[in-house]
Amino acid sequence: ETSGNVCHSATICSNAIMHAGTTVDTFLRENLVEWLSKATNWAKFSATAGLGVIHRGHLQQGRALMAPYLPQNGAVGGGSPYSEGGALYALGLIHANHGEGIKQFLRESLRNTSAEVIQHGACLGLGLASLGTADEEVFEDIKNVLYTDSAVAGEAAGIGMGLLMVGTASEKAGEMLAYAHDTQHEKIIRGLALGIALTMYGREEEADTLIEQMTRDQDPILRYGGMYALALAYRGTANNKAIHQLLHFAVSDVSDDVRRTAVMGLGFVLYNEPEQTPRIVSLLSESYNPHVRYGAALAVGISCAGTGLSDAISLLEPLTSDVVDFVRQGALIAMAIVMIQTNESFDSRVGTFRRQLQKIILDKHEDTMSKMGAILASGILDAGGRNVTIKLRSRNKHDKLTAVIGLAVFTQFWHWYPLLYFISLAFSPTAIIGLNSNLEVPKFEFMSHAKPSLFEYPKPTTQQATTSAVELPTAILSTYAKAKSRAKKDAESKAAANQEKTAAEAESKAANQEKSTEDASGSTSGKAADAMQVDSSAEKKAAEPEPAFQILTNPARVVPLQEKFIKFIEGSRYVPVRPAPCGGFILLRDTQPSEAEELVVLTDA
C-alpha cells in the first residue's frame, strides 16, 4: 500500500511537470473523483500544489483558478488544511518572482491561521512570490511562524526566509544560524540551513566566514547547509578553492548527508563548464558509498542540464542499474535532466532510456524508489509539453538566479517530496518568436539547416499489451500418456496401409506436373518481371532521403541544440535587427514597410 501511495504521488507530480506552464489540467479533471481522490494528507497538499506548476506564470487568473482550494478571506475555510496549504504554495509557484499582486493575500493567510500545514504552504508561497525582494515586513511575518517552534511550519519558514533574502548576504543569516543552534527540531534546522545557504547565493569570498562557521559545526545538518552555501556562493564559477573544499568533504565527512550534498554541490559550481563535471566526478561515481554515487549522479545532472552531453550520459548509464535503489532513482532523474529535449534520432541512447523507464514503471516487482525515480524522470523528459529545457545560464552567459535556486531547493526532495515542484523554476521555453517594431508577431518563414528528425518531438508512447514472460509447464496425467501411446500405434498401422496407395498416386502426379510446367514457363516469367518492378518502386520510395533542411514559421519551437542551424531566408521581408539571432524573442526589421502586414493571431491560454 505504501508503494502505491508513493507512486500515486509521483504520478501527480510527474503530470504537473509534464504540463508545467501549459494550463492543461485535463488529466486531473478527468480523473478527479476515482483516482485523484485517493490522495490524502500531504499527498493532497502536493496534488493541489501541482496546479501551481501547471498554471505557472498565469498571473492574471492565478488566484481565480486556485479559489476553490484557498482559505476564504484569508482565514481558514471549511476545506481540508492540506488542500488549503497546497493552494497557497501553488499561488507562490504561479507568481514566483512576480508576486507583487498576491503577496498581501499570502501574508493575511499566514497571519490568520494557526494550522501548521497551512503555515507551511503560506511560508513557501510567500518565499516564492517575494523571491529576492528582502521585504522586511514579509521577513517578520515568516520569522513569527519560525518562533512558534513548530517542526512542520518551521522547516518551510526557514526555506521561505532564504528565498526572500536570496543573494543578500544579510546579517539576518546570523539570526537564523543562532536559532538553528537553539531549536531541537531537525526539520527546522534543515530548513534554516538551506535558507542560510540561499542568502549567500553568488557572494563568493564574501560568504567565506559563514561557510567556515557552518562547515566546522558539530551538527551534521548545519555542515550539510554549509555544503549548499559553498556551492551556491561559488555557483557557475568553477572556482578551484570551492571545488577542492567540496571534494575534501565528499571523502572525509562522517555524515552521509554531508558527503552526498558535497558531491552534488560540484554540479552547481561547474555548470559553466559542463564538459569538466563527468571527468571530475567519475571516480566518485564508483565510490563504495551509495550516497556519494547518488551525489555524483545529480552533480552531472545539474551541471549538464539540457546539454545531451555524451560523456554525461555514459557516466550515468551504469548508475541507472546500480545495486542500491536510491542511487538508481537519482541516476534516472539526472539522466532525464541531461536528456531533456534530446530525441532518439540525435542520440540512440535516448530511445533506450525511454524504453528502460517504461519497463521500470510497468514492472510489478521493481522497488518503490526506482519506480518513483522512473515516473519523475518521464515527467522531466517531457516537461512543459516538450517545449521547455533546463537552463542555468541565459544566452548572454548570465546566471539565472531563479533557475539555480529552483534546482537547489528541488534537490531537497530527498527529505521532503513537495519540494519537487521547485524544478519548474528552472524551466526555460525553447522557441524563436519574431517581433516587429510594435512588438506584434508577424507571419514569416525561416530555415533550419538540419534534418527535421534530429529535433522533432519524440513519438507518442504506445501502451504495450502485457503478456506473461514465463510459460509454465503443463501438468500431464498418467491416463493421458497411455491414451496417447495407443493413438500412436493406431496411426502407425494406418500409415503403413496407406503407403502403397500414396506411392502409386505420386507417380501419376509427377508425370502430369512435368507437362504443365513446360506450358506455364512462358507466362510465369512475365509475371515475375512485373513483380520485380513493383518491389523496386517500393524500395525507391522507402529509400527516399530525408530533406537536409526544414522551413519553420514564426513563432516556432527551436531547441537549444538547433539554434546554430537557424538561417533567415534571403529576400525575406523580415530580417533580424541583430545580425546573429540565437533564439527567444528576436526583434525584426521590416524591409517592405509600405505593404500591409499579416500578423499571427494570439489567444490567451
Q: What is the pLDDT of residues 72-93, one digit of tens each?
A: 754 545 578 888 999 999 999 9
Q: What average pLDDT score do residues 424-435 get?
A: 90
Asked if 556 and 585 count as a contact pair (C-beta separation under 8 A), the reply is no
User: Quick check: 310 pLDDT over 70?
Assistant: yes
Task: Give the 3-state secondary structure of residue 221.
Answer: helix
* CA distances from residue 556 to 144, 389, 567 in whole angstroms, order as listed: 48, 15, 13
Q: What is the pLDDT, as a whole number, of residue 489?
A: 75
Chain mean pLDDT for the chain: 84
Distance CA 19, CA 459 (A): 17
- How confident is the model over 221-245, as pLDDT tens digits? 999 999 999 999 999 898 999 999 9
Say if residue 512's pLDDT is above 60.
no
Position of cell 497557497?
Answer: 88
* CA distance linking residue 363 with residue 350, whole number of Å: 20
Q: What is the DSSP string of 256-292?
A: HHHHHHHHHHHHHHTTTSTTHHHHHHTTGGG-S-HHH
Count CA atoms within 13 Å of residue 493 on its CB side. 5
Q: Is the pLDDT of residue 260 over 90?
A: yes
Q: pLDDT category, 466, cuts 50, 70, 90?
A: very low
Backbone angles phi, psi at 448, to 5 degrees: -110, 110
First to last CA, the chain: 38
What cell was used for 266?
560540484
531 pLDDT more than 80: no
pLDDT-based confidence at residue 23 (cuts at 50, 70, 90): confident
What are the phi and psi torsion angles at 347 (to 5°)?
Answer: -145, 115
What pLDDT does 479 receive?
65
Percentage above 70 pLDDT, the chain: 86
CA distances from 126 to 71, 122, 137, 140 (A): 15, 6, 11, 12
Split at pLDDT 50, 70, 90, the class of 542 is: low
pLDDT at residue 118 in the model: 92
Range 42-68 average pLDDT:
88
Give the best-scoring range by mean pLDDT among 114-123, 493-502, 517-526, 549-558.
114-123
Instruction: List, in sequence order, the alpha helices (H) in 79-171.
Output: 81-94, 103-111, 116-129, 136-146, 151-164
Look at residue 390 and tell me whether its pLDDT is greater than 50. Answer: yes
Per-residue pLDDT for 116 more than 60? Answer: yes
Task: Provide, for the chain, the percentages of residues in helix, strand and coil under a 3-state DSSP scheme, each rounded to the nearest 5.
Answer: 60, 5, 35
All three cell numbers of 598, joined, read 499579416
The CA dihedral of 159, 161, 164, 166, to the nearest 10 degrees, is -70
User: Which among 264, 271, 336 is positioned nearest to 293, based on CA atoms?
Assistant: 264
User: Rounded CA gap, 12 and 9, in Å?
Assistant: 5
Other C-beta atoms closer than 10 Å to the C-beta of 410 total 20
Q: pTM score, two decimals?
A: 0.83
pLDDT value at 523 more than 70? no
Pick 29 or 122 by higher pLDDT: 122
CB 556 within 8 A of CB 435: no
DSSP-based three-state secondary structure for 162: helix
Question: Phi first, then psi: what are they for 412, rounded to 5°?
Answer: -75, -5
Closest to 605 (Cα-Cα) out of 28, 60, 120: 60
Check: CB of residue 84 under 8 Å from CB of residue 72: no
DSSP structural state of residue 584: E
Close Cβ partners of 311 (under 8 Å, ≥ 6 residues apart): 275, 278, 279
250: phi then psi, degrees, rounded to nearest 5? -65, -25
pLDDT band at 528 (very low <50, low <70, confident <90, very high): very low
Query: Are 308 and 338 a contacting pair, CB within 8 Å?
Result: yes
Q: Which of 43-52, 136-145, 248-257, 555-564 has the lowest mean pLDDT?
A: 555-564
Nearby residues of 388 by Cβ (< 8 Å), 6 or more positions away: 20, 21, 340, 341, 427, 428, 429, 430
Cα 153 to Cα 143: distance, rounded to the nearest angstrom: 11
Residues 6+ apart with CB under 8 A from 413: 419, 420
Q: Say whether pLDDT at 558 is over 60.
A: yes
- Give the domain ranges of the chain: 430-459+546-605
Taking the CA atoms of the chain, what radius of gyration do you get in angstroms?
Answer: 31
Of residues 506 and 439, which shows the higher confidence score?
439
Q: Residue 506: what pLDDT? A: 55
Q: Find out whether 262 and 220 touch, Cβ atoms under 8 Å.
A: no
Q: Residue 262: which pLDDT band, with cuts at 50, 70 and 90? A: very high
For residue 374, which of 70, 62, 27, 7 has the smallest C-alpha distance? 7
Binned at pLDDT 50, 70 and 90, residue 591 comes out as: confident
Looking at residue 445, its pLDDT comes to 85
Whether residue 469 is predicted with pLDDT greater than 50 in this model: the reply is no
Average pLDDT over residues 61-67: 85
pLDDT tens figures, 158-179: 999 999 999 888 888 888 899 9
pLDDT above 80 for 497: no
- Mean pLDDT over residues 214-219, rounded? 91
**Amino acid identity at 490:** D
pLDDT of residue 547: 79
> Where residue 520 falls among pLDDT bands split at 50, 70, 90?
very low
pLDDT bin (cut points 50, 70, 90) of residue 432 is confident
